[in-house]
Amino acid sequence: MNPPVSQTSEARARLPVGLLIGVLALVAVLLLPLPADLPVAGQRMLAILAFAVVVWISEAVSYEASAIMITALMAFLIGTAPTLQDPTQLYGSSAAISLALTGFSNSALALVAGALFIAAAMTHTGLDRRIALVTLTRVGTSTRRILLGAIAVTILLSLLVPSATARSACVVPIMMGVIAAFGVDKRSNIAAGLMIVVAQGTSIWNVGIQTAAAQNLLTVGFMDKMLGQRVAWLDWLIAGAPWALIMSLVLLWLVLKLLPPETDSIPGGKEAVAQSLLDIGPMTGPQKRLLAVSLLLLLAWSTEGKLHPFDTTTTTYAGLVILLLPRVGIMTWKDVQSRIPWGTVIVFGVGISLGSALLSTQAGQWLGGQVVAHTGLDQVGPLAVFAILAAFLILIHLGFASATALTSALLPILIAVLQTLPGEFSRLGMTMLLGFVVSYGFILPINAPQNMVCLGTETFNARQFAKVGLLVTLIGYLLMLVFALTWWKWLGWM
């Protein structure tokens, strides 16, 4: 007699509900009557987009698995659809799979891969931890200064470590060590405030620095593909950093008001950080070389198009060559390959492919036209357009656990909307500003990986996070509208 099947095995055998709903959404869109101005391939791409959005929001399967599913759907559904140029001819599976893989030839994907290598190098050498500890030794022992020190660490690492998840994974253990050294209770307001500052400060500086987050690089990829131009690293910094700096101070003020620290001073804190720095020993040769390469990359990124003609991707790969050179470099392929989330590269490439396919099949243009026709966006000015689309992105982000997935799903449609709108305004600038809003993962811990890393410390709960995050979101949104009327308008981005 066979043993009874456990409930766990039965649960594993069931198909995820989100995946079933995604398939139903796919079929529903395919069965809708075909509009006269929408090609068959375009309708099928909208069906694939509906499937992707449902699966991403529900997290029915991993992002890597969903990326492979999307690739297969594009190969079969677009491969059996008539081409736009000649409706009597089918795309064919070869052309369709090529379309599904176009994102992997995009320079933005190469930049993401390069950025992940640099982040892995930081972790491999321990330079990120050293930078964080050195920064913290410069602050005092009052709770205000410790929170300010956490923001300073976030800003510095945002410049040098091009991965939000990697930054938070580095900073969180240090901050937990600080909390333990101070003898503060793990569920105190001090501990909760410190971790919330790390999580939300990371999201704030994802806005300010182009290379700080994958979704920014995906936005740049869509700019290249759909607009034929992109925003340089320094121009992004000039536009975004002032907002991020003000919001960092707002975050500090909100945490102090909403989670008032139990004490104003923590004796022995600075000494504990100094001891941690002493424990890791003097700066090593690989750390010095990595720091030198990182500073050179910062210089190269910030002077792109001004002192030299090389784009961010090219200079990043030049830096990687130095880091991987025998004897001169600081790492080998084996040192970093296990530290790189290769799934992120796959999801990123398929995300660009999805956006490109929406454009090439005219699905994006058609959907953009429908949005404009049914919302009256063509009747309002650029400021109102930005206000409405930004509010929409903030609300829809509540359903997404990945800003990269959100960008893949919606930014191509929003760019198509901007291209459909009449009037004179900077489509490139508006795309960058909407790219800023994609980083609004402030309300729910699940809305950004760095939030979940910090939540795992059990120093705060979702209610405390949302209490701060709701106000950060509201103030940040209103501040962006002020910037749209002033700073960004003066820079020519509106």
> In the chain, what percentage of residues exceed pLDDT 90?
53
Tell whether 329 and 297 lie within a shared domain.
Answer: yes
Residue 490 falls inside a structural domain: no
Mean pLDDT lowest among 138-152, 386-400, 437-451: 138-152
Report DSSP letters for 37-61, one per residue.
Answer: TS-HHHHHHHHHHHHHHHHHHHT-S
Residue 433 falls inside a structural domain: no
What does the pLDDT read at residue 322? 93
Tell whether 112 and 80 lie within a shared domain.
Answer: no
Residue 230 pLDDT greater than 50, yes or no: yes
Exposure of 290 in the CB half-sphere (CA atoms within 13 A): 24
Tell whether 209 and 87 lie within a shared domain.
Answer: no
The DSSP letter of residue 3 is P
Tell whether 88 and 115 lie within a shared domain.
Answer: no
Tell whether 96 and 241 lie within a shared domain.
Answer: no
What does the pLDDT read at residue 141? 67
Mean pLDDT lowest among 15-19, 241-245, 261-265, 318-322: 261-265
> In the chain, what percentage of residues exceed pLDDT 70?
95
Question: pLDDT, tens digit, for every residue of 146-188?
Answer: 899 899 999 999 998 888 888 888 888 888 877 776 777 888 9
What does the pLDDT read at residue 267? 64
| Coil, strand or helix at 259 | coil
Mean pLDDT lowest among 180-184, 339-343, 451-455, 471-475: 180-184
- Residue 77 belongs to what domain range? 17-100
**Cβ(387)–Cβ(481) under 8 Å?**
yes
Residue 434 falls inside a structural domain: no
Tell whether 195 and 55 lie within a shared domain.
Answer: no
Tell whether 80 and 119 lie within a shared domain.
Answer: no
Tell whether 223 and 289 lie within a shared domain.
Answer: yes
Residue 360 falls inside a structural domain: no
Tell whether 67 and 117 lie within a shared domain.
Answer: no
Q: What is the mean pLDDT of residues 272-283?
A: 84
Residue 88 pLDDT greater than 80, yes or no: yes
The residue out of 338, 358, 390 marking a domain boundary is 338
Question: pLDDT, tens digit, for every residue of 365-401?
Answer: 998 888 888 888 989 999 999 999 999 999 999 888 7
Rounded mean pLDDT of the chain?
89
Q: What is the mean pLDDT of residues 192-221?
A: 94
Residue 12 pLDDT greater than 60, yes or no: no
Residue 128 falls inside a structural domain: yes
Q: What is the mean pLDDT of residues 2-14?
A: 53
Which of residues 217 and 180 earns the better pLDDT score?
Answer: 217
For the chain, what is the domain count? Answer: 2
pTM: 0.86
**Cβ(133)–Cβ(282) under 8 Å?**
no
What does the pLDDT read at residue 97? 94
The DSSP letter of residue 225 is I
Which of residues 486 and 57 earns the better pLDDT score?
Answer: 486
What does the pLDDT read at residue 172? 86
- Closest C-alpha among 294, 154, 305 to residue 235: 305
Question: pLDDT, tens digit, for every residue of 57-73?
Answer: 888 888 889 999 999 99
Tell whether 126 and 275 lie within a shared domain.
Answer: yes
List residues bridging with 304 in a β-sheet.
Answer: 308
Tell whether 205 and 276 lie within a shared domain.
Answer: yes
| CA 62 – CA 459 distance, rounded (Å) | 27
The DSSP letter of residue 327 is T
Tell whether 120 and 210 lie within a shared domain.
Answer: yes
| CA 277 – CA 132 distance, rounded (Å) | 10
Residue 11 pLDDT greater than 50, yes or no: no
Cα angle value 137/143/147 (rounded, 5°): 70
The residue out of 34, 68, 100 marking a domain boundary is 100
Give the pLDDT band (50/70/90) at residue 266.
low
| Coil, strand or helix at 126 | coil
The residue out of 315, 338, 361 marking a domain boundary is 338
What does the pLDDT read at residue 279? 87
What does the pLDDT read at residue 10? 47
What does the pLDDT read at residue 183? 73
Residues 6+ apart with CB under 8 A from 376: none
Residue 160 falls inside a structural domain: yes
Radius of gyration of the chain (CA): 24
Residue 376 falls inside a structural domain: no
Residue 352 falls inside a structural domain: no
